[in-house]
Structure 1
């Protein structure tokens, strides 16, 4: 699918959103999936974002920029999706080229560049500046899916997931659907495509005992977490220091992958570190233990393996 066609479909999605009122979280997710510039990174409540979009379309870029916390030039992207014949998309590359934060000057310079390059509208100008062609895009899409497939659950990091999310957001729908068939742990897929509520800290030793000292149980819990109503990411696991030695010899080789994970900690007693990590990260805790000695009521959300199993 040609990239121009993909962008035109995204523009149709944009107009569909404009016909709606009182946007929900899913609407904001769609909108951020459409945006290609700075607006895709803005973190404000749904009603604020909707207000900013409608104000910008009425010409009040100053108001929109203030409540979104971006430059007025960045707000131009809203107008670009509304009318790519009149307004340029303020991509990072174009902003570096034009070197101005004045909206009128930005539009004037962008239009001069468009005419100089012989492009019919600002959509074609964006494609030209990004050096997008069909063959290159197909290769890029394949590379993104390949990178996702190469991720392991044990080494899943916030940095890598953030990078892949930004690429995944611009994939055409046909490519996005392929991610479900990748040969990778479902929690890895969820980390790329789902919006996390908050981090999670897992009581590793507690899970091992509940799983009859089988490492497979930890993988099963992560499978359930991938489809749980709330998605939690990033994750940390805390095991007791002697966790490896209480496992049957047959399980120790599988456990070695967790030992080498940057997301895993070993501490005795483990409870103290679990609570400390949860508080510092603003995370939920997954454990069969109630941590009563820490008086966590109202401070940390505790989730049991049974809750996760039930979904």
Structure 2
């Protein structure tokens, strides 16, 4: 086991403190829990029994959390309620740990009797001269790869075209310190950073043919260049949709022909406007769409 002055321990403790902030944001608002928030818990819990947690009905999970936090019953009776709903007792024990590490240890072993486990951990905490079980768990698990390093490594894989797969990382980025944020920001596409560091976003529909014909966008992937400019605007525009004319593949080359939110329609203008209206979004095109009802066009804000 590492000592409390080792770099491994300090990094692990910092990782756990960051993770706890994210988890607490969900647990404190348990009355409004939804599938997305449960998925956040599943991603961040450390026991393997977390698998499948995101499949639990949010209403049932909210009830179980309310009972766990507010009803004065034994741990054993609460375990029964969790297990009735096919949720492991280790998930319950881990929730208690993240919610109140001053009183509840991380369930890092097989537990037959929770009171015996608690007594054993209290003794360890006292012997280690630490303040709480979060510090104890950091000490006992500091050989693990650090969480922040894993997050940084993962976020560097994000690209504009796969960004939707990384949106969950917003939870963590908001808690990073300025140095860590700047480190990530300097290594990823500006549009990716803009979206991941923004809480509110607006959908944007891009006029594909129009943008690929623009002489003002310099680069082999003009849509990537466009998104770089969009990232400079005050508001964050996400997700982005692209509409091409049906013959676009015969005129241009771009990786965005395979993007999951790319559509083909002739005339493209009609779908661009209708899609923007349906999404309560904006468009990005050098055209002015005079023949349609007004839809905001952010191209003219880019000042390219």
TM-score tier (shorter): 0.5 to 0.7
Map 1:3-152 onto structure 2 (within 5 A). Answer: 3-4=12-13, 34-39=21-26, 96-97=92-93, 110=104, 117-118=121-122, 119=125, 124-126=132-134, 133-136=141-144, 138=146, 140-152=147-159
Q: What SS class does the counterpart of residue 271 from structure 1 fall into?
A: helix
2:279 corresponds to: 281
Indicate how the Cα distance of structure 1 residues 211 and 40 shifts in structure 2: closer, same or farther if over 3 A, else same: farther
Q: Which runs of 5+ in 1 are unaligned?
A: 11-31, 43-68, 77-91
Indicate how the Cα distance of structure 1 residues 180 and 108 shifts in structure 2: closer, same or farther if over 3 A, else same: closer
1:96 Cα deviation from its structure 2 partner = 1.9
Q: What SS class does the counterpart of residue 205 from structure 2 fall into?
A: strand
1:236 corresponds to: 241
The answer as to 2:231 corresponding to 1:226 is: yes
Contact persistence 1:141–1:175 (CA under 8 A): no
Bigger fraction of residues in helix: 1
1:195 corresponds to: 199
Contact persistence 2:102–2:132 (CA under 8 A): no
Report the more deviating stretch, 232-241 or 187-196: 187-196
Indicate how the Cα distance of structure 1 residues 39 and 151 shifts in structure 2: closer, same or farther if over 3 A, else same: closer
Contact persistence 2:190–2:228 (CA under 8 A): yes
The answer as to 2:303 corresponding to 1:309 is: yes
1:211 Cα deviation from its structure 2 partner = 3.0
Q: What SS class does the counterpart of residue 200 from structure 1 fall into?
A: strand
Indicate how the Cα distance of structure 1 residues 151 and 162 shifts in structure 2: closer, same or farther if over 3 A, else same: closer
In the superposition, the TM-score normalised over structure 1's length comes to 0.57
In structure 2, C-alpha distance between the alignment counterparts of 1:217 and 1:5, rounded to whole Å? 40
Deviations 1:207-237 (A, max 9, x none): 1233379754322211111221111111111
In structure 2, C-alpha distance between the alignment counterparts of 1:132 and 1:171, rounded to whole Å? 24
Contact persistence 1:180–1:189 (CA under 8 A): yes
Q: What SS class does the counterpart of residue 241 from structure 2 fall into?
A: strand
Map 1:157-196 onto structure 2 (within 5 A). Answer: 157=164, 160-182=165-187, 184-196=188-200
- Whichever of the two has the greater Rg, that structure is 2
Q: Which runs of 5+ in 2 are unaligned?
A: 1-9, 30-61, 71-87, 106-114
1:198 Cα deviation from its structure 2 partner = 1.5
Deviations 1:53-108 (A, max 9, x none): xxxxxxxxxxxxxxxx99768999xxxxxxxxxxxxxxx998723899xx9xx999
Report the more deviating stretch, 126-135 or 261-270: 126-135
Structure number with the bigger relative contact order (C-alpha 8 A, sep ≥ 6) is: 2
